[in-house]
């Protein structure tokens, strides 16, 4: 038997035992895990130094190095997030629905853990702790697969957490990491239908596509966001401009940042030049259609078909003049990734139609797309943002890591 | 472009338009569809006669022929089921949750259609009408792929329904069937990630395994049920015996029928012989372990390892003597398919532990597993019984054919 299959079998065993643990034991384990992270700061930083050194040698770009880098303050922040989870309400055991059947059977639908949750992610060491803690909170066994760039940091954090969890009374192997960074390990993990209940990839579009195309384990797609801001002819420029700047520039590398700007033809001469100038002044590289370029407000690179479908995750934005609401909705439903989409308008009917017809996890009127986030939406912790329609859509909180089962208590009923 | 891709693109287009239809229009279409089925009875029966003739020539077994066969009364029954859906509450548009965010954005999570739902099924013509009607009710475009044995019947029903739906004001191509029965058509359908939102296979274990292993479109696994009845040492024989007989014999060909009987060692000499005699008298072929065979009550074939994992769907049952509750739960969690599992006991602690620890969509105390069914559980219509943990678990009603989206209404909010 291969190492990955053995690990998955151990996870399955741990999941069965975890499903029987109490809320108090799991919350206690979270506090112990946070304490352990703080106590073992030096060990984690030593592992992180190995990753940083290798990444530096490999010429890794600065933003990626920043995501990879840990220091005592960041580890304390990671520990605080783990600790905060202990104070969230436990979703497990909730009676979701129930009634007495006409034949007298007492039927309840109760919330239970999913079982074994696998996460594949890239060079962010904090995801190791986030994912492990969310799984502990929801009674799931965690199988973690960090990216090669962060592998020493991820394994160190995972070891510290696993040891603390076991010491606090959780079953052995509740938290496990895959040590191999070979592609073959991921491939095998994705083949373990029946042993792994769900696979959640967190990372770039390539990672997510690979999982969708090759996994036999059910996948929850997360996070690819080609988000649009549509400035309708009923928009007030004083409202539109700060929203566009915020959605594009406040944190361009995240999935809920805007990548594309659509502006109605009838207001493109009044509204678009000041917006383009503000974007350019903020350092945004603009890729526009012919009409946008003809305005001559600032330098605009000609947009290609590819631009409309691209999630830049960078200080770049595509810009298109549209004939009106219908074309804007059509463009968004064609090129968007069903993440977050916004209209800026003062027109009631346009707002209502945009909310009704745009097919996305979150649809906004007169607000920045940057609010699509578990914390902002009041979900507490967040495991990712689902861009698919099955199981969970939009920011996924603790409930997304649960399933339900029916309990039927009878006294001899048989089916007539 | 291939025919299947064109069909999927038309479905996608129809889904966008369907999402904008009102409840009244969709319910009206359901009534018109039911009327059309009754009006076109002769046409459907003629198509069914072609299937029956081909099936007869091919030497199809009698139970399968019975499932395939239509007559006027059965068509009327199918029409009545379509009509009944029009009277169910529309799940689309329900506000699932919502609140005012601290920054003033008014956030609502509302229920929306999934989009394009594909169903692959076997030789049951009525599934065509059930699936099309459930999709119309929930505002989804339906792509249907019936089995080759029932293809003429399925296409005739699909044509009648599609024409009636369009005449009643639904978008063209809301209901489409794949005319080819080639394996290649199924393979291509399963590859259309992004065009098809969910694939629901309904049929045997082979069909479902093929979808799980090969589909890039998210799959909801349905219906494989290796269900157990466990007779605990605290069981009253007068309660256990009728439940075992009902669960095994009342309708042995369905997924919630019991396939395996577990009996505690301490009561196997008192309880097992009368149960085995009743099963044998009902015509059940028994496959037992050594201890069961040693009781000498009736003829028992030696059970193999394969028997414990087999869904017979037939008048056969595997029988095993277990040491107690722990071994029973372990056996069920190892060999079961997470469908429906029952304990018969008068012992409170055993009942509670069985409910807590058995991992299945429905767990019963002192009742037959045959109740796992959308109608019995009060869900109204049923599209299938999910044996996976993501999205839906157990009998799936209308809500399983929906997703949600967040609507966020602001007045200029940007993220600080």
Inter-chain residue contact A218 with B213, CB threshold 8 Å:
no
pLDDT, residue A390, reads: 94
Q: What is the mean pLDDT of the segment spanning A3-21?
A: 95
Packed helices B268-281 and B237-249: angle between N→C axes, nearest 10 degrees: 30
Partners of residue A357 in chain B, C-beta under 8 Å? 16, 19-20
Q: What is the mean pLDDT of the segment spanning B42-63?
A: 94
Q: Nearest residue of B to residue A114 by CA position?
A: B389
Which positions ≥6 away from B198 have C-beta within 8 Å? A389, A390, B114, B117, B118, B217, B218, B219, B220
pLDDT level of residue B382 (50, 70, 90 thresholds): confident
pLDDT level of residue B89 (50, 70, 90 thresholds): very high
What would the pLDDT profile of A102-135 be if each residue is shown by its tens digit? 999 999 999 999 999 999 998 789 999 999 999 9
pLDDT, residue A359, reads: 95
Inter-chain residue contact B390 with A403, CB threshold 8 Å:
yes
Coil, strand or helix at B339: coil
Among A20, A364, A406, the residue with its CB nearest the CB of B357 is A20
Residue B123 has pLDDT above 80, yes or no: no
What would the pLDDT profile of A276-299 be if each residue is shown by its tens digit? 999 999 999 999 999 999 999 899
pLDDT, residue B138, reads: 97
Q: What is the mean pLDDT of the segment spanning B290-312?
A: 96
A-interface mutation test, from B349, B372, B414, most A Cβ less than 10 A away: B414
What would the pLDDT profile of A217-264 be if each residue is shown by its tens digit? 999 988 789 999 999 999 999 999 999 999 999 999 889 999 999 999
Inter-chain residue contact B362 with A405, CB threshold 8 Å:
yes
pLDDT level of residue A71 (50, 70, 90 thresholds): very high
How far lies A366's CA from each of A204, A275, A297, in Å?
Answer: 28, 16, 24
Partners of residue A218 in chain B, C-beta under 8 Å? 218-219, 388, 390
Partners of residue A372 in chain B, C-beta under 8 Å? 406
pLDDT, residue A53, reads: 96
Give the whole-angstrom CA distance, residue A37 versus residue A76. 8
pLDDT, residue A399, reads: 95
Concatenated DSSP letters of B64-86: HHHHH---HHHHHHHHHHHHHHT
pLDDT level of residue B229 (50, 70, 90 thresholds): very high
Q: Are A406 and B377 in contact (CB under 8 A)?
A: yes
pLDDT, residue A206, reads: 86
Q: Nearest residue of A to residue B346 by CA position?
A: A411
pLDDT, residue B190, reads: 94
Inter-chain residue contact A355 with B239, CB threshold 8 Å:
no
What would the pLDDT profile of B171-200 be if each residue is shown by its tens digit? 999 999 999 888 899 999 999 998 999 999
Residue B396 in tokens: 């799936």
pLDDT, residue A152, reads: 96
**Domains in chain A, start-ordered, CATH in brackets?**
3-221+388-409 (3.40.605.10), 227-371 (3.40.309.10)
pLDDT level of residue A63 (50, 70, 90 thresholds): confident
pLDDT, residue A380, reads: 78
Whole-prediction pTM value? 0.92
pLDDT, residue A205, reads: 82
Q: How far is A225 from chain B (nearest CA, A)?
A: 15
Give the whole-angstrom CA distance, residue A385 versus residue A374. 8
Partners of residue A359 in chain B, C-beta under 8 Å? 16, 19, 112, 115, 405
Partners of residue B213 in chain A, C-beta under 8 Å? 193, 216
Residue B258's nearest CA partner among B218, B315, B206 is B315
């Amino acid at each position: 038997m291969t190492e990955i299959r053995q690990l998955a079998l151990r996870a399955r065993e741990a999941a069965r035992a975890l499903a029987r643990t109490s809320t108090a034991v799991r919350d206690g384990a979270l506090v112990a895990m946070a304490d352990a992270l703080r106590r073992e700061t030096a060990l984690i930083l030593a592992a992180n130094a190995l990753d940083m050194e290798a990444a530096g040698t490999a010429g890794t770009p600065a933003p990626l190095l920043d995501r990879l880098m840990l220091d005592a303050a960041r580890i304390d922040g990671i520990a605080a997030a783990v600790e905060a989870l202990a104070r969230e309400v436990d979703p497990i055991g909730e009676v979701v629905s129930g009634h007495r059947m006409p034949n007298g059977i007492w039927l309840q639908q109760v919330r239970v853990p999913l079982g074994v949750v696998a996460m594949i992610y890239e060079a962010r060491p904090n995801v190791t702790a986030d994912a492990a803690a969310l799984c502990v909170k929801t009674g799931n066994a965690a199988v973690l697969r960090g990216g090669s760039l962060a592998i020493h940091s991820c394994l160190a954090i995972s070891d510290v957490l696993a040891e603390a969890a076991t010491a606090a009374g959780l079953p052995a192997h509740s938290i496990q990491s895959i040590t191999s960074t070979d592609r073959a390990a991921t491939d095998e993990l994705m083949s373990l239908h029946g042993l792994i209940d769900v696979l959640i990839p967190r990372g770039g579009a390539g990672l997510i596509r690979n999982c969708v195309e090759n996994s036999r384990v059910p996948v929850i797609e997360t996070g690819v966001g080609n988000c649009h801001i549509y400035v309708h002819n009923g928009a007030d420029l004083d409202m539109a401009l700060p929203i566009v700047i915020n959605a594009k520039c406040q944190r361009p590398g995240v999935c809920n940042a805007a990548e594309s700007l659509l502006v109605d033809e009838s207001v493109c001469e009044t509204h678009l030049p000041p917006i383009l100038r503000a974007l350019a002044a903020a350092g945004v590289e603009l890729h526009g259609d012919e009409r946008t370029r003809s305005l001559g407000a600032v330098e605009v690179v000609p947009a290609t078909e590819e631009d409309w479908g691209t999630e830049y995750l960078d200080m770049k934005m595509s810009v298109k003049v549209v004939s009106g609401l219908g074309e804007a909705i059509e463009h968004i439903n064609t090129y968007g990734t069903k993440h977050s989409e916004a209209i800026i308008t003062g027109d009631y009917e346009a707002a209502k139609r945009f909310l009704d017809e745009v097919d996305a996890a979150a649809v906004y009127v007169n607000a920045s797309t940057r609010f699509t986030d578990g914390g902002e939406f009041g979900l507490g912790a967040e495991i990712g943002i689902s861009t698919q329609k099955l199981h969970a859509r939009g920011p996924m909180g603790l409930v997304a890591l649960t399933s339900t089962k029916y309990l039927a208590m009878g006294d001899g009923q048989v089916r007539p």
